[in-house]
Structure 1
Amino acid sequence: MSKAPNPVFIILAFFSIYVIWGSTYLLNKIAVTELPPFMLASIRFTTAGLLIFLLCKLMRISLVITRRQLLNTAIAGFLFLTFGNGVVVWALKYVDSGFAALEISAQPLVVLILMRILQGKKIQPMSMVGVFLGIIGIYLLISQKQVVSQENSLLGIFMIFLCLLSWAYGSLFVGKANLPTNYFVNTAYQMLTGGIMLFIGSLLLGERWSSPVGWSVPVQYSMLLLIIFGSIVAFTSFNYLLKTVSPEKVATSTYVNPIIALLLGWYFLNEQITTQSIVAAVVLLTGVYFINTKKQLVIFSRFTNRLGGKLK
């Protein structure tokens, strides 16, 4: 019989993916103004992975995993970090941090649709309302002239959508995959493999690397915060929650992330918050709410039960 999850750990983990991840849009936006995107992401995740390995050694946690687990952590690292995060960082060169967070807030809709396509889960009426509102919200978001008029903004918007698909599929994959049972070990291997793939991608793209001593102070602090909090703390919390609660509940972090990102982008980077963006956010997040209400989550019970003691 599996041990019941600690409610305090669950609350702290949700705080991490809600608030800390909401701030990473600002931190990435600051850093990508000076650093190549894949270099930035590679340094962030490789360093974080190595630090977690060191932490495991100090805590005498075994780092031994099977070949299957190594392969699965590499797949998850690619879906979440190499593509799912690295391309978002690249897209931040062309779109505002708050806008990117709002677009990514559509993730629960994508999770629901993928569950329908890949697992045959029926979409209930409330979910259909949520999907409809989500589509309207996304349209209101991306149809703004001040957004699409920016150079390469449409390409950035499209690539972020592909990242949405990658994260959504990764969430479903991790829920069923054979991964290391220890969350630190699981995160460390995902970080390291994802960081290595980002490094290879950076080399293939011909990005120019630079020493941290040559970075500006805001970029140095941003990288430090991204490594410690955005990577080690938040991503470990994310993996913990994916094995403790259902994927669509984890996706509810998109309620808070865009609000945090919008406010931080507005306050620190003077990013414009238009009336249409506010309306789009309300419509989109209302759609997400319809998908994730307690009553609606009952339809996923059979899915979570199939995962045995690893979920709920």
Structure 2
Amino acid sequence: MSKQLLCTITFVSVCLIWGTTWMAMEIAVETIPPITATGLRFLISAPLLIAVTLLMKKALLFPKGKRKFMVAVAVFYFAIPFTLMILGEQYISSGLASIIFANMPIAVLAVSMVSLSLRLSAHQFFGLGMAVIALCLILSGELEMGDSNDNAGILALVSAVLIHAVMYVLTQKYAKGIHVLTYNALPSGIAALLLLVVGLFMEQPDAHYFTAESMYAVVYLGLVASVIGIVAYFSLNQMTAPFTASLCFLIFPVVALLLDAWINDNHLSELSQQLLLPLLIGIVIAKVPQLPTWLVSRSNK
């Protein structure tokens, strides 16, 4: 198999896995409380990630001096944001949830500007502004058509995005160079234990009410999304430029929207559908570190 074909298959796989993850979370939380569902997800994925980490002969523990940060990753990268994601899907559609999360690159840029004094070029500011305005218009339009519970769902998803963005920036600052498997294996296991204990007391889950569909969805999240998805995205980053890999953030919301329309007959308003294009274009422009030479030369004429 050629490298180009392997790269294409991996890219498509990541987009499909990320796109279907949102529907799986929606199905899981139908009968399983959100904290418990997220804990079960990581309880499935953590042992497999630990096994893969050992198989690839990577470290399980963070380097000395950074092990407190490993606990922070468990809580603020895994436990809280992933619970907020699935909690939000109790109130808003999986398609809308995916659109919000697709703005992760924009959130990372914004946080980097504040905490790392990252300097953006003019076109990146333009893309950042375009994406933020388009997202705000989409959310305001969908809120007008929904009910008051939608506010809680959107707040949960936006909070998850912001927490993830902050953790990404802190990782770049304090834990850069840690292998992706090391970063995911033990922290997700710690998160699983924390969530299951908290869920036991706060949600008092009754397994008799868990449907087979919800359990299958949790298994999908644990096995496919949290293990295969991570390994596939890591492999994609190894095979392509970071910008190419980040294009997955533009494709997976489309997959999620199509799946939501097909299964649940949920559709965004006509205005929101029209705003998707400037939203995605804004994300692309903001992510491009430098405009193509031919475009710059044309604009200078």
Shorter-chain TM-score bucket reads: 0.7 to 0.9
Match in the other structure for 1:304: none
Match in the other structure for 1:217: 212
Is this contact kept in 1: 2:61–2:186, CA < 8 A?
no
Match in the other structure for 1:161: 158
1:43 deviates by: 0.5
1:101 deviates by: 0.8
Aligned runs of 1:109-120 on 2, under 5 Å? 109-120=106-117
Alignment partners' CA distance in 1, 2:234 and 2:172 = 9
Identity across matched positions, percent: 18
TM normalised by structure 1 equals: 0.80
Cα deviation per residue 1:261-282 (whole Å; 9 max; x = unaligned)?
Answer: 1011111122123212211211
1:57 deviates by: 5.4
1:11 deviates by: 6.0
1:147 deviates by: 5.5
Match in the other structure for 2:264: 269
Whether 1:38 and 2:46 are equivalent positions in the alignment is no
Match in the other structure for 1:198: 195
Is this contact kept in 1: 2:243–2:288, CA < 8 A?
no
Whether 1:132 and 2:151 are equivalent positions in the alignment is no
TM normalised by structure 2 equals: 0.82
Cα deviation per residue 1:52-110 (whole Å; 9 max; x = unaligned)?
Answer: 22455567766455454443333223333212211011010001110011112222221
3-state DSSP class of the match of 2:95? helix
Match in the other structure for 1:105: 102
Match in the other structure for 1:229: 224
Match in the other structure for 1:82: 79
1:221 deviates by: 1.9
1:268 maps to amino acid: I
Question: Which of the residues 281, 285, 290 maps onto 2:285?
Answer: 290
Match in the other structure for 1:306: none
Alignment partners' CA distance in 2, 1:143 and 1:117 = 26
Is this contact kept in 2: 1:187–1:236, CA < 8 A?
no
Aligned runs of 1:50-69 on 2, under 5 Å? 50-56=47-53, 63=60, 66-69=63-66
Match in the other structure for 1:20: 17
Is this contact kept in 1: 2:31–2:209, CA < 8 A?
no
How many residue pairs align between the two structures? 291
Is this contact kept in 2: 1:69–1:179, CA < 8 A?
no
Is this contact kept in 2: 1:47–1:227, CA < 8 A?
yes
Is this contact kept in 2: 1:111–1:248, CA < 8 A?
no
Structure 1 regions of 5+ residues with no counterpart?
Answer: 1-5, 299-312
Q: Given the superposition, is the C-alpha separation of residues 224 and 139 from structure 1 closer, same or farther in structure 2, using an over 3 Å criterion?
A: same
2:219 maps to amino acid: L
Q: Which stretch has the larger CA shift, 33-42 or 75-84?
A: 75-84
Alignment partners' CA distance in 2, 1:250 and 1:208 = 40
Alignment partners' CA distance in 1, 2:62 and 2:164 = 24
Structure 2 regions of 5+ residues with no counterpart?
Answer: 294-301
3-state DSSP class of the match of 2:290? helix
Alignment partners' CA distance in 1, 2:194 and 2:244 = 29
3-state DSSP class of the match of 2:268? coil
Match in the other structure for 2:253: 258
Alignment partners' CA distance in 1, 2:67 and 2:78 = 15
Q: Given the superposition, is the C-alpha separation of residues 195 and 295 from structure 1 closer, same or farther in structure 2, using an over 3 Å criterion?
A: same
1:150 deviates by: 2.2
Q: Given the superposition, is the C-alpha separation of residues 245 and 120 from structure 1 closer, same or farther in structure 2, using an over 3 Å criterion?
A: farther
Alignment partners' CA distance in 1, 2:111 and 2:145 = 28
3-state DSSP class of the match of 1:35? coil
Alignment partners' CA distance in 1, 2:66 and 2:98 = 31
Alignment partners' CA distance in 1, 2:13 and 2:35 = 24
Q: Given the superposition, is the C-alpha separation of residues 253 and 164 from structure 1 closer, same or farther in structure 2, using an over 3 Å criterion?
A: same
CA root-mean-square deviation: 3.2
Q: Given the superposition, is the C-alpha separation of residues 112 and 182 from structure 1 closer, same or farther in structure 2, using an over 3 Å criterion?
A: closer
Alignment partners' CA distance in 2, 1:165 and 1:65 = 24
Is this contact kept in 1: 2:62–2:70, CA < 8 A?
no
Q: Given the superposition, is the C-alpha separation of residues 209 and 70 from structure 1 closer, same or farther in structure 2, using an over 3 Å criterion?
A: farther
Q: Given the superposition, is the C-alpha separation of residues 263 and 136 from structure 1 closer, same or farther in structure 2, using an over 3 Å criterion?
A: same
1:112 deviates by: 1.2
1:286 deviates by: 1.2
Q: Given the superposition, is the C-alpha separation of residues 180 and 47 from structure 1 closer, same or farther in structure 2, using an over 3 Å criterion?
A: farther
1:138 deviates by: 1.3
1:215 deviates by: 2.9
